[in-house]
Structure 1
Amino acid sequence: MAYHKVQDILELVESFHKQMRHALDQVSQEADSDGVEWLSKELRQHELHWQAALAGYEKQVAEGVLDTWLQYFPDEEVRHQIDSIEIKQGMTIEELTDLNGRFRQALIDLYETLSQASSAPRVHDLFQQLLEHEQSVVSKQSRKQQDSELVENRSRKRA
């Protein structure tokens, strides 16, 4: 079983964010859809918040957390989940929202696993913080989607 540094894991997660954002950017440029543009903007905004949260955490903890080695990292499982997310031109906002949900769930699963597997308190806290942040993003996006559906349903009833 390979060992991984916390920093390497976070760099991999950052690359997942960039892959997802790049794919959405490509689709939003090719499709003139408010929904695709909204989802792309949401992902970009989340990525900036994720980087800011991580930078803030790095300042608060003593050096060494990012250099901590972890024995268990479910990279094969996570890579499979992330790689199965394929964004194509012409997808509906519902399909893209579903893919975004699968992306978020893969990250939640990863953070939860790493939080539970870590015996170092600061590393556990880092992954727990990232887990809670990701869960709050999912919750916020779910509320926005429900609000959007309510407005859409009300508009249909009036028409």
Structure 2
Amino acid sequence: MTTLRARDVIDQAHAFHSHLSGYFAGLGEASANERVQLLYSYLSQHEKLLSQVLTRYRGDAPRRLMDTWLQNVPDDRSLQACALLNLEPDTAAEDVITASLTYDDCLIALYKSMQAATTQPELREMFENLQAMEEQEKHRTTLNMQSLYDW
């Protein structure tokens, strides 16, 4: 646990999404399985979109809110540990889906812990909104990946 600004937490989530986008793209390029290639391609684009959303969010949020310090929050090692799920280019589609949902759960847990780390209502609301966005994206991604998997 450490002390971070709200901006630092958003930056961690942004870096996590960016890393996953590149990770999935590389796996997709190396896969010989067409279905798994499509799945990795979808996930790469999805993560890229979420990193862009966080870039806009970071730019639009009030500076005083983004510069607020939070105590006893997880440092970036929690997301790095989550990213250690080892996938291979030809990992079974079911396992790719499971890993993707695990990544979403890591971010949801991060946003929940940020809500608990602040007493400032506006900051708590910001992290509630980010959590809700991540949960909605998880649901949407699940439906979309299931459609790809059924193909």
**Fold shared, TM-score > 0.5 on shorter chain:** yes
CA deviation profile, 1:99-123 (whole Å, cap 9, x unmatched): 1011011011111111122112221
What percent identity do the matched residue pairs reach?
A: 17
TM-score (norm 1): 0.78
Partner Cα separation in structure 2 for residue 52 and residue 130 of structure 1? 10
Partner Cα separation in structure 2 for residue 37 and residue 74 of structure 1? 33
What does residue range 71-150 of structure 1 map to in structure 2 within 5 Å?
71-75=71-75, 76-83=77-84, 85-147=85-147
TM-score (norm 2): 0.82
CA contact (8 A) 1:4 1:71 kept: yes
Partner Cα separation in structure 2 for residue 122 and residue 57 of structure 1? 15
Partner Cα separation in structure 2 for residue 113 and residue 124 of structure 1? 10
Question: RCO greater where, 1 or 2, for CA within 8 Å and sep 6 or more?
Answer: 2
CA contact (8 A) 1:24 1:87 kept: no
What does residue range 23-62 of structure 1 map to in structure 2 within 5 Å?
23-32=23-32, 33-49=34-50, 51-52=52-53, 55-56=56-57, 58-59=59-60, 61-62=61-62
Q: Hey, which bits of structure 1, 4+ residues long, moved more than 6 A?
A: none
Partner Cα separation in structure 1 for residue 103 and residue 16 of structure 2? 9
Partner Cα separation in structure 1 for residue 27 and residue 43 of structure 2? 14
Highest CA radius of gyration, 1 or 2? 1
Unaligned runs of 5+ in 1: 153-159
Partner Cα separation in structure 1 for residue 92 and residue 27 of structure 2? 11
CA deviation profile, 1:11-52 (whole Å, cap 9, x unmatched): 111111122111111111111423333343244234324533
SS at match of 2:8: helix
CA deviation profile, 1:29-82 (whole Å, cap 9, x unmatched): 1114233333432442343245336625743x4321111111121224333223
CA positional deviation for 1:145: 4.1
SS at match of 1:4: strand
Question: Using a 3 Å threshold, how does the CA distance of structure 1 residues 29 and 145 change in structure 2: closer, same or farther?
Answer: closer
CA positional deviation for 1:146: 4.4
Q: Which residue of 2 aligns with 1:65?
A: 65
